[in-house]
Amino acid sequence: MPLSSSITAVSRLAPPDIDRMFDLHRRYYDNLDRRRFLLDLGEKQWVILLRNAPDEIAGFSTVQTFRTEIDGSPHAILFSGDTVVAQRHRQHSTLAGSFCHFMVRMLDIHRGVPCHWLLLSKGYRTYRFLPLYFKIFYPTFRTSTPSQYQRLMDGICRTKFGDYYNASTGILQFGGNRDYLNADVCAADMMRSADRHVRFYLERNPGFRRGDELVCLADISYGNFGRHIFRALERTRVSWNE
């Protein structure tokens, strides 16, 4: 059964859907605190909701957009927060397609301003999205991160996360005080370590089992979109609940 997708303003979320999001999240993550979950949700403007029935959420991702200035130039940032898809629905590209629709809208709103996706990766599945949908992204095994991109990531993360951000490694380290992938998911992730992108991720973020997050960045531009983005756009229909 195909999944439906809506991009919903956080202010318009129904309380039962918030409960369903939390229940789905704790199915795959340990050490999840409801108060922290709600605080994080309150910082975002949007939620991508995937449904396979009116009263069932099959996946979600929280989204924040903002502008920042680096080296005297403005930049528009798409920042994705908590992201979970039920295992039996991970073969669908609906979440990816929904993000593609969001990115296209962002390009329209911020015309003339460089747009970027700031992605915090708690596991290889999230990181693996980057080589699938973008031609160029950082960090990557292919090349070192250019200084202007590193300054952008450093500036944003120092402001948003303070001392939790380790600029020398590009890792957010919460000391095990945040949610992290449960042991079964981690074990399954390790099975993919032969993939070069997965191996790079595991090398760069060995503390992912305790909730460490690798900070990643990709330009949002038509020139940087891979062919899978355009396929996902064509296949996915979203409704906006503003």
SS3 121: strand
Q: For 75-86, what is the mean pLDDT? A: 92
Q: For 77-106, what is the mean pLDDT? A: 90
144: number of Cβ within 10 Å: 9
In Å, what is the CA distance from 52 to each residue of 6, 57, 86, 234? 12, 7, 11, 19
pLDDT single digits (tens) 163-197: 999 999 999 998 777 777 776 655 545 555 678 99
- What percent of the chain lies above the pLDDT cut of 90? 64
- At 163 the pLDDT is 94
CATH value of 4-241 in 3.20.19.10, 3.40.630.30, 3.40.50.2020, 3.10.450.50: 3.40.630.30
For residues 205 and 190, the model is more confident at 205
Q: For 125-141, what is the mean pLDDT? A: 93
Question: Is the pLDDT assigned to residue 90 strictly greater than 70?
Answer: yes
* Model pTM score: 0.91
Q: What is the rounded CA–CA span in Å between residue 18 and residue 217?
A: 28
Contact residues for 84 (Cβ-Cβ < 8 A; gap 6+)? 21, 24, 25, 27, 28, 29, 59, 60, 61
pLDDT single digits (tens) 48-68: 999 998 889 999 999 999 999
- At 208 the pLDDT is 87
Can you give the residue ranges of every domain in the chain? 4-241
Q: Give residue 171's Cα distance to chain centre.
A: 15
Q: For 114-121, what is the mean pLDDT? A: 95
Question: Is the pLDDT assigned to residue 159 strictly greater than 60?
Answer: yes
- At 230 the pLDDT is 86
Tokens (6 digits) for 3: 């999944």
Confidence band of 70 (pLDDT split at 50, 70, 90): confident
Pick from 149, 1, 140, 185: nearest CA to 75? 149
Largest CA distance in the chain: 49
Quickly count helices (H) and strands (E) in the chain: 8, 11
Burial class (CB in 10 A: 0-12, 13-18, 19+), 135: middle
176: number of Cβ within 10 Å: 12
Q: What is the rounded CA–CA span in Å between residue 207 and residue 115?
A: 29
Q: For 97-125, what is the mean pLDDT? A: 93
For residues 6 and 81, the model is more confident at 6
